[in-house]
């Protein structure tokens, strides 16, 4: 069965930006308004944590107004702060709560409790924070300290979440803080903090932030659509013949669109048909995606670090590209919400693809005619892996699904409706 994609789709707002805007709004002086707020469990986790800390808000549909505290004036929560399955909430909140007025306990679900947290708690300790992890994982206890102090932090692993947590701590410190990473990662936090009036700048791979001298200003933003969610549709529309898809209001922040750079190198066919920026917190516009016959490429470590969430979908695209695609720096996938490195390999191999792991790299020859297996492999409860399996099944000619795994609701509860609206069979 052949499928094609035709139409236009405004996707949910960008979760990465939403988390940061909600947190900045919580410590700003005045009311922050956010439109196009996405549904999903991870954003709800951030909202619930802020409520437990004394932040009030009103929500109507995709609009929320956050009443800022005018600083780090947290209320002591009655219970542990439940991070659920949200790694973004956890790592950013650790920085935001690095100097609390009373002891705090952060917990997570079974999956999140396996993810490494020392990469954020270690640099925060260098700034004076008192944090006790459970062998480098959640649960984490944060103890009050008199003050934080600025520090020069060198990151060995590229992580926008870790960088953001340090920047939030730097706002509360005495003295300046710098964060230097191995590559330039997502800069949503820097953009939003600058818009809110923080003294923040970047030179090369180093971000410099000064402590707050006055409360942050509230934000009024319309969230761009989430690029990581769009990647599912971008890869599908590229691989399914005769497809033409428009994605309006999409985040076109260059620190998020590395997947497009790679696919263009592989002969992908994209056009930005409008690029409105007036009053936008982030570059955003309409992306048109057309089907294309891909060729192989080599993805270096810096590109992989910037496109880490999209690497599984890129591996699927590589199975349909002519030649031998090599994707470096895949080990970081093993410590995401699940072991996405192993799950990606299982999904693609079950469809008949070859994907070889060589050290910290994948080697994927193509093109290969995929087939939907009689029995899919058991997968972890990870929304991105569930969406990869759906995409692989459609490329293999399986029927358009009428239901999707419940875990997809964490990031994309509208997926079933959008699939039936846009994907047609021939």
Per DSSP (E only), the strands in 88-135 are 104-107, 130-134
CB distance 104 to 79 below 8 Å: no
Q: Which residues contact 279 (CB under 8 A, 6 or more apart)?
A: 222
Q: How many Å apart are CA 212 and CA 58, to the nearest integer?
A: 27
Pair of tokens at residue 207 = 């971000």
Quick check: is 309 catalytic? yes
**137: helix, coil or strand?**
strand
Distance CA 207, CA 180 (A): 6
- Catalytic position from the list 309, 331, 339, 360: 309
Distances (CA, A) of 132 to 120, 137, 274: 12, 9, 49
**HSE (side-chain half, CA atoms, 13 Å) at 259:** 27
Q: Given the structure tokens 């693809």, which residue do they identify?
A: 353
C-alpha radius of gyration, the chain, whole number: 21
* DSSP sequence for 208-230: EEPPPSSPBPP-EEEPPBPHHHH
Distance CA 33, CA 57 (A): 10
Residue with tokens 């800390």: 53
Residue at token pair 């930006």: 17
HSE (CB half, 13 Å, CA atoms) of 376? Answer: 17
Closest by CA to 259, choosing from 232, 219, 241, is 232
Q: Which residues belong to the active site? A: 309
């Amino acid at each position: 069965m052949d499928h094609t994609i035709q139409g236009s789709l405004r996707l949910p707002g960008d979760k990465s930006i939403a988390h940061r805007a909600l947190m900045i709004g919580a410590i700003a002086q005045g009311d922050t308004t956010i439109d196009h707020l996405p549904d999903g469990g991870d954003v709800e986790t951030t909202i619930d944590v802020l409520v437990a800390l004394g932040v009030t808000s009103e929500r109507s549909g995709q609009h929320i107004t956050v009443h800022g505290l005018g600083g780090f004036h947290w209320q002591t929560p009655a219970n542990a702060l439940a991070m659920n399955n949200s790694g973004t909430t956890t790592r950013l909140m650790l920085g935001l709560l690095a100097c609390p007025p009373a002891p705090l306990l952060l917990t997570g679900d079974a999956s999140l409790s396996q993810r490494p947290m020392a990469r954020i708690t270690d640099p925060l300790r260098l700034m004076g924070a008192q944090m006790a992890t459970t062998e480098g994982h959640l649960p984490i206890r944060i103890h009050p300290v008199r003050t934080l102090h600025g520090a020069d932090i060198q990151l060995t692993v590229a992580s926008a979440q870790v960088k953001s947590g340090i920047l939030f701590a730097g706002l509360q410190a005495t003295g300046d803080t710098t964060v230097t990473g191995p590559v330039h990662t997502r800069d949503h936090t820097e953009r939003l903090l600058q818009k809110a009036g923080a003294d923040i700048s970047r030179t090369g791979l180093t971000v410099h932030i000064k402590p707050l001298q006055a409360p942050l200003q509230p934000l009024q933003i319309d969230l761009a659509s989430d690029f990581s969610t769009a990647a599912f549709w971008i890869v599908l529309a590229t691989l399914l013949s005769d497809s033409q898809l428009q994605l309006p209001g999409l985040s076109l922040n260059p620190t998020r669109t590395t997947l497009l750079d790679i696919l263009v190198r592989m002969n992908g066919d994209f056009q930005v048909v409008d690029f409105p920026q007036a009053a936008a917190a982030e570059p955003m516009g309409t992306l048109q995606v057309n089907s294309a016959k891909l060729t192989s490429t080599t993805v270096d470590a810096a590109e992989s670090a910037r496109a880490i969430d999209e690497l599984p979908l890129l591996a699927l695209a590589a199975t349909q590209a002519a030649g031998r695609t090599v994707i470096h720096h895949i080990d970081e996938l093993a410590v995401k919400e699940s072991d996405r490195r192993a799950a990606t390999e299982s999904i693609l191999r079950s469809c008949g693809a070859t994907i070889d792991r060589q050290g910290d790299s994948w080697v994927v020859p193509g093109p290969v005619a995929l087939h939907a297996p009689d029995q899919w492999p058991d997968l972890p409860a990870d929304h991105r892996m569930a969406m990869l399996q759906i995409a692989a099944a459609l490329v293999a000619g399986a029927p358009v699904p009428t239901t999707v795994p419940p875990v997809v609701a964490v990031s994309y509860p509208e997926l079933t409706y959008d699939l039936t609206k846009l994907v047609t069979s021939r």
